[in-house]
Amino acid sequence: MQIKTIIEPFKIKTVEPIFMTTEEERKVFLKNAHYNPFLLTSEQVLIDFLTDSGTSAMSANQWSGIMNGDESYAGAKSWKRFEKTINDLTNYPFILPTHQGRAAERILYGHLGGKGKIFLSNTHFDTTRANIEFSGATAIDCLTPEATDTSLELPFKGNLDTKKLVQNIEKFGKENIASVILTVTNNSGGGQPVSMENAKEVSKICKNYGILFILDACRIAENSFFIHEREKGFGDKTYKQIVQEMFSLADGCVMSAKKDGLANIGGFIALRDKELADACTNLLIITEGYTTYGGLAGRDMEAIAIGLEEVTEPDYLKYRIRSTAYLGEKINKLGVPIMLPVGGHAVYVDAKKLYPQIPVDEYPGQALVCELYLKGGIRCVEIGSVMFGKYDENGKLIPAPMELVRLAIPRRVYTQSHIDYVIEVFEEILRTKNKARGLKIIQEPKFLRHFTSYFEQN
């Protein structure tokens, strides 16, 4: 008999307590946090779906790697292991360790960017966009129109729209395109995967125009699972081979190791071109550290190297993708509108559809974020007009294309009963959905406003 239930492919060795709270207590906590869950303390949270970044539970193997970390300033054996593992996956010769993904972005895009430069991507993640704009350059998303229809079930909704890509290259001139960035999976576009075919097309276009092609690879293992399942010709390949093939199409990558590196901190830049690597190395030494540790301790490099090997293991990836799909399928069945199909690291709720009574300039996504915290102590993040909205010259909101709420699932952290609890909270969210209220922003910074803005309930 074939047992169909997919179980967590691990036993729990160390546990961390969750502090129970009541709705009454959470009302006070949320008010004091100005209706922005980023400003809550973790002890005030029951289920933390704020991010899958840096929140993974490490394996016993990774913890033993931590003890083996070589903290030598130069040429540590942990660096050699880190370099070899990344080289084996990417086949890029130049590897620059950074303390996390955005440090890699600041170095690479800061160097490539500047006034008049254009970056093109399926969707720039918020830190990617912020680093590009901070350099004076412009970031343009080229997502396919289908991608913003949350109910449309297509296999690769993270794909970059190659027509829009070519149009933008022609419009701005190839000499002004600093690079094309393919984000796999497409985090801000709903955690949707990118097909190998699309990556090949993008690669071809970049080669034809002589434009640098960079992968934002922080969830490339999860992306490989979808290619294995959904794309013709990949069912017999290993996840690692698929990852390697995708890297082979690009000129380099930035990667936050806090996602598919299964580590709590870390990142890197990996490049083919020596001249570009040299320029980045200069910046690395100024702000991150010497070339063989960058922004990392030796023990971090050990944990990342081991994590990058564990992340393409079939049992792990099957459990990972299945457990995300479990949450998405169950709440969708209850009637919660979500981004379909469910992506790899998160379930995205379509808050505009859930709360049609709340206009976009009253942030329906933020309203749901607050409701989930109040009703269930669940913390998650708005990915909509709070995160990506801009103002026109009259101060009117230019809304984001979608009003999503992301329930990002930390890797190897929560069990099925935690997820069942979340599903029950959604039943309550549906029962009380007509009572949900919008919010207004009363204080905001210039960049990345979702982190620190203060809100008031209308």
Q: Which is nearer to ligand F0G, 267 or 365 (CB)?
A: 267
Q: Which of 74, 70, 135 is nearest to 102 (CA)?
A: 135
Contact (Cβ atoms closer than 8 angstroms) between residue 423 and residue 330: yes
- The residue (of 128 and 292) whose beta carbon lies closer to ligand F0G is 128
Which amino acid, residue 105?
A: E
The CB-of-85 to ligand F0G minimum distance in angstroms stands at 18
The set of long-range contacts for 132-139, using a CB threshold of 8 Å and a minimum separation of 24, is 132/105, 133/447, 134/106, 134/110, 134/447, 135/109, 135/110, 137/109, 137/112, 137/113, 137/178
* Least Å from the CB of residue 383 to ligand F0G: 9
Residue 430 Cβ vs ligand F0G, minimum distance, rounded to whole Å: 26
Cβ proximity to ligand F0G, 325 vs 448, nearer residue = 448
Buried b (16+ CB within 10 A) or exposed e, 301-332: bbbbbbbbbbbbbeebbebbbebbbbbbbbbb
Beta pairing, strands 94-98 & 404-408: unpaired
Cβ distance to ligand F0G smaller for residue 288 or 362: 288
Phi/psi region, residue 34 (left: phi>0; alpha: psi -120 to 50; beta: rest), is left
Cβ proximity to ligand F0G: between 106 and 299 the closer is 106
Residue 2: CB minimum distance to ligand F0G, A: 36
Distance of closest approach, residue 127 Cβ to ligand F0G, in angstroms: 4
Question: Which is nearer to ligand F0G, 215 or 340 (by Cβ)?
Answer: 215
Q: Closest by alpha carbon to 325, among 347, 306, 294, 303?
A: 347
Choice between 30 and 182, CB closer to ligand F0G:
182
- Interface with ligand F0G (CB under 6 A): 51, 53, 100-102, 125, 127-128, 183, 187, 216, 218, 256, 258, 267, 408
Determine phi and psi for 338, rounding to 5 degrees.
-130, 165
Residue (of 188, 248, 202) closest to 224 by Cα position: 248
Quick one: 224 or 438, whose CB is closer to ligand F0G?
A: 224
Half-sphere exposure of 27 (CA within 13 A, CB side): 3
Q: Compute the distance between CA of residue 55 and CA of residue 411 in angstroms, rounded to an integer.
A: 7
Measured from the CB atom, is 166 or 413 closer to ligand F0G? 413
**457 in Cβ contact with 35 (< 8 Å):** yes
Any residues with CB less than 8 A from the CB of 455 and at least 6 apart, and which?
34, 35, 36, 363, 366, 439, 440, 441, 442
Q: How far is the CB of 125 from ligand F0G (least distance, A)?
A: 4
Burial track 425-448 (b if 16+ CB lie within 10 A, e otherwise): bbeebeeebeebebbebeeeeeee
Helices and strands of the chain, counted as H and E runs: 17, 16
Q: Report the 10 Å Cβ neighbour count for 171.
A: 10
* Distance in Å, CB of 368 to ligand F0G, minimum: 17
Closer of 349 and 358 to ligand F0G (Cβ): 349
Q: Shortest Cβ distance from residue 219 to ligand F0G (Å)?
A: 7
- Closest-by-Cβ residue to ligand F0G is 101
- Please, which residue, 254 or 336, has the CB nearer to ligand F0G? 254
Rounded Cα distance between 162 and 118, Å, is 16
Could you tell me the two tokens for 191?
Answer: 């955690």
Minimum separation from the CB atom of position 456 to ligand F0G (A):
25
* Residue 267 Cβ vs ligand F0G, minimum distance, rounded to whole Å: 5
> Residue 50 is inside which H or E element, if any?
none
Write down the least CB distance from residue 62 to ligand F0G, Å.
17
Spatial separation of the C-alpha atoms in residues 256 and 215, rounded to whole Å: 11
